[in-house]
Amino acid sequence: MSKVIVIYHSGYGHTERLAEAVAQGAGAELIAIDAEGNISEAQWAALAAADAIIFGTPTYMGGPSWQFKKFADASSKQWFSRAWSDKVFGGFTNSASLNGDKQVTLISLQTLASQHGGIWVSLGNLPANTKTSTRSDVNSLGGSVGFLAQTPSDASVDEVVDGDLATGKAYGQRVAAIADRLAK
């Protein structure tokens, strides 16, 4: 089985719950970027040994959190040595508004993966966009590039939307399955 890592930042815990769902689906190890935007040397080593890396961040002001961006900039060391080249990558983001400009965040995660020479995994689910669709459905936000989630601004961590958790779990499964296929 491939080694998958979900590396994420979460300021207030909502994105963390989604990261846990993605990791559950992927059978992945979780790495949290801390409040200063750092991870340990052991965690950098774990990323180097991974077959697949899934990035996660809340959308803050239409982009990744600064802590995630600090991690992304720090990965320029791995960029120089092509250490993450040909790994499988995925990404997700969560914001308060249905749109909230979070596609911009997702594209920045896809771009980061591409800078590293990675192989990006799309979401793979059809959108749930009919009259009978609800937020409990998989992919009710209608994403395709990666996994998008929306947590209302007044929702507690326990109130993260069930359909988003299901979408995240399915996305994690997809990234892990593709990493397994490429490892053969």
- Chain residues that interact with ligand FMN, rule: CB under 6 A: 10-16, 58-62, 94-97, 100-101, 151, 153
Cα–Cα distance, 72 to 132 (Å, whole number): 39
CB 160 within 8 A of CB 14: yes
Q: How far is the CB of 6 from ligand FMN (least distance, A)?
A: 13
**Nearest CB to ligand FMN, comparing residues 14 and 87:** 14
Q: How far is the CB of 162 from ligand FMN (least distance, A)?
A: 15
**Nearest CB to ligand FMN, comparing residues 8 and 89:** 8
Q: How far is the CB of 180 from ligand FMN (least distance, A)?
A: 29
Q: How far is the CB of 100 from ligand FMN (least distance, A)?
A: 2
How far is C-alpha 117 from the chain's CA centre?
Answer: 17
How far is C-alpha 103 from the chain's CA centre?
Answer: 12
C-alpha closest to that of 175 among 119, 126, 104: 119
**Nearest CB to ligand FMN, comparing residues 136 and 153:** 153
**Nearest CB to ligand FMN, comparing residues 3 and 135:** 135
